[in-house]
Structure 1
Amino acid sequence: MGGDGGFRILAGVDGSVPSRLALEWAVTEARLRHGQVRVVTAWEFPPVAVGMEAWSGTRTSSRRPRAVSRTRP
């Protein structure tokens, strides 16, 4: 329960069908009971293997590998 006497429903959403259904349920329940919904999500950056050919011994160039920058989706 919140400090104001209301309640909150926490819904974790990862883009899957079950998580979307859970979010729909949470919103419906909060509307019926005058509560609040808090939605959380998380993601993990996939591993990046760009530029690793320099360490495998297959690259013949003497250039140094470039740094790879990542941006958030």
Structure 2
Amino acid sequence: MVDILVVTEKETDIGNIEKMLRAEINQLIIEKDSLSREITSKEDLLEKARSGLEAAQQLNAQIEEKTRFISVLKTQGM
């Protein structure tokens, strides 16, 4: 009789531990999903920043080209 009670208690303990572990796993999955969304958002922002920098570099190159052209015109007296 005592052995059956001990086994039943152990089964209950195991069941409680399983529930606790499942809850912890579910919480970790939620956190992982949240972090994945945050990473995706940061990657999108990074891509936009890269595009902006590329556009700025192109504008800078155009400005430099026009500045050189203006300098040439000034030296030619135009």
Q: TM-score of the superposition, structure 2-length normalised?
A: 0.25
Which is greater in Rg?
Answer: 2
Q: TM-score of the superposition, structure 1-length normalised?
A: 0.26
- Structure with the larger RCO, 1 or 2 (CA within 8 Å, 6+ apart): 1
